[in-house]
Amino acid sequence: MSEAEAYSYDADMRKANRKQAVEGRSVIFKIKRCDGPGKSTRWESFKIPIETGANVISSLNWIAANPVTVEGTKTTPVVWDSSCLEEVCGACTMVINGRVRQSCSCLIDEYAPKDGDVMTLEPMSKFPVIRDLWVDRQRLFSNLTRVKGWVPIDGTYNMGAGPKESHEQQQMRYALSECMSCGCCLEACPQFTKEEDESQWDSSFVGAHAISQARYFNEHETGKQLKDERMDALSGAGGINDCGNAQNCVKVCPKGIPLTESIGAIGRSATMHAIKQFFQGKK
């Protein structure tokens, strides 16, 4: 089975699970915990009664109010990152049953429909753990700076409207603009590896999200003024050439962003950029 098929199977399975979810059941949450950087990890399990519409967030909330493991040992509330709980902020990303996703949109009915089913929660592995399920994704934002992810406007004074844009172009850009910097594409990417040394960030693989954001800004009439600088960054070490074409990124993107198309588009831009550099005698 290809990974794309596995993904759609996964969606069908979740839908089927939802239909057969047992009311009044309890589910075991197996959670990988860690007290802080450099501390050892341990697993703790909790038995949680599942209410209608329960998701991973409501389950972690339940643990916070009842921090006792299945063995009856008192422990501390689990630490995790979250904000909007509507799958638009990207904060609550974690690895659930082996697959990276947002925990807010993870309904227990879809993963653990029967009494005693197990849900496994782990922190993302590509970023340093701060505590328990909370990781430090600063590198992800730093990579947006690396590709100059902004439109270089003159200033905030009133200077009339922006460039006119076709309906088609807007729809294309909108699809890219929904990236919420959650990091799912990085967790799933074989080329993006954990790097705790901040000085190495600018030469390590930049990741699909930043490549796609570079394309987003290159596609804007004013944004393209920085295209050469973006392509300089993406042509160097850790740039587009480091992509191994595994195509995992696009399969795990919760917003359905066409990441592989973006990688293809930026790849072509990089080629053009190299030729341009050559004729300008810069390389």
- Residues lying near another protein in the complex (CB under 8 A): 15, 18, 35-36, 51-55, 57-58, 61, 64-65, 67, 76-77, 79, 81-91, 104-105, 107, 130-131, 134, 137, 141, 144-145, 148-153, 155-156, 158-162, 164-167, 169-171, 173-174, 177-178, 180-181, 217, 220, 222-223
Shortest Å distance, C-beta 68 to another protein: 10
Least CB distance to another protein at residue 126 (A): 16
CB of 162 to another protein, least distance (A): 4
> Which CB sits closer to another protein, 191 or 251?
251
Nearer to another protein, 77 or 244 (CB): 77
Give the shortest CB-273-to-another protein separation in angstroms: 21
CB nearer to another protein: pick between 169 and 247: 169
Both structure tokens of 7: 């993904």
Give, as one character, the DSSP assignment of residue 48. Answer: E
Residue 46 exposure: Cα atoms within 13 Å on the Cβ side: 25
Cβ closer to another protein: 21 or 240?
Answer: 21
Rounded to an integer, what distance in angstroms lies between the CA atom of residue 266 and that of residue 264? 6
Please classify residue 162 by burial: count the beta carbons closer than 10 Å to its beta carbon, then call 0-12 exposed, 13-18 middle and 19+ buried.
exposed
Nearest Cα to Cα of residue 108 among 48, 151, 148:
48
Rank residues 70 and 84 by Cβ distance to another protein and give the closer one: 84
CB of 75 to another protein, least distance (A): 9
Nearest to 255 by CA among 168, 184, 173, 150: 184
Q: Position 75: which residue type?
A: T
- Comparing CA positions, the residue from 227, 205, 208 lying closest to residue 149 is 227
Report CA dihedral (232, 237, 241, 245) to the nearest 10 degrees. Answer: -130
Q: How far is the CB of 195 from another protein (least distance, A)?
A: 18
CA angle 161-165-168, nearest 5°?
155
Judged by beta carbon, residue 37 or residue 244, the one nearer another protein is 37
